[in-house]
Structure 1
């Protein structure tokens, strides 16, 4: 469902805005995987995990930053909680979003890595997009 152009856009270091059923919108780091899923990491005891355990629907919207022509992609679908791969994902995303040569960011990543993390995978069922 995601096109090659979608994946290219989603692999940029942009923030996504995640909504889970019955929950608020949250900015998140994310990764578009080769299999077309959207994955993110979170502590296993987070409200996101509790909410998707009861109702596994979620969506993420990613928009181009200010200064670029308007473009956005919305991906909605069923979410699965995966116990493996979260630490590796957190490290990849930290490298993508932060300068890990900065001791403050390296320390933040080290702190994240001490948490009990899981991966959330959004399996696309509906993709909407707009580009000028």
Structure 2
């Protein structure tokens, strides 16, 4: 299956960390925790520093996977999404704002400072286009 279900989208709209693995990375693969957003169009978006190692790797081989799991205090549940990525610079500032509001309490002055730092940065937007979605819940 290559489309997110309503239950997947509900789960992925929570402020959970995803673990991203890129195909052209080191062997064995080295997943990295990321903030992400499941879009209405069925893609997954995240942002990254243009100088991060994943950018040239994704440009060489655009395949990637993201796995998101429920916290250990909840019943077992995960969603795994694999597919091809695209890299863009447009829409990144808005994505940073949405994700910061989702993951942080922006009434906290320290987090406001953190957000100011993110706003001052340069970012790229990675879009994961699902080819395959797997899930488990029990």
Q: Could you tell me the TM-score, scaled by structure 1's length?
A: 0.96
Kept in 1, the 8 Å contact 2:24–2:58? The answer is no
2:24 to 22, 25, 28: 22
Question: C-alpha separation between the residues in 2 aligned to 1:72 and 1:13?
Answer: 14
Superposed, 1:40-55 pairs within 5 Å as: 40-55=46-61
Matched positions, count: 132
Q: Secondary structure of the residue that 2:120 maps to in structure 1?
A: coil
Shift of 1:31: 0.2
Unaligned runs of 5+ in 1: none
2:95 counterpart residue number:
89
Q: Tell me the CA shift for residue 103 of structure 1.
A: 1.4
Q: Separation in 2 of the partners of 1:12 and 1:67? A: 15
Corresponding position of 2:128: 122
* Structure 1 counterpart SS, 2:73: coil
| Secondary structure at the counterpart of residue 72 of structure 1 | strand
**4+ runs of 1 displaced by more than 6 Å?**
none
For 1:29 and 1:7, how far apart are their aligned partners in 2? 15
Partner in structure 2 of residue 63 of structure 1: 69
Q: Distance in 2 between matches of 1:42 and 1:109?
A: 15
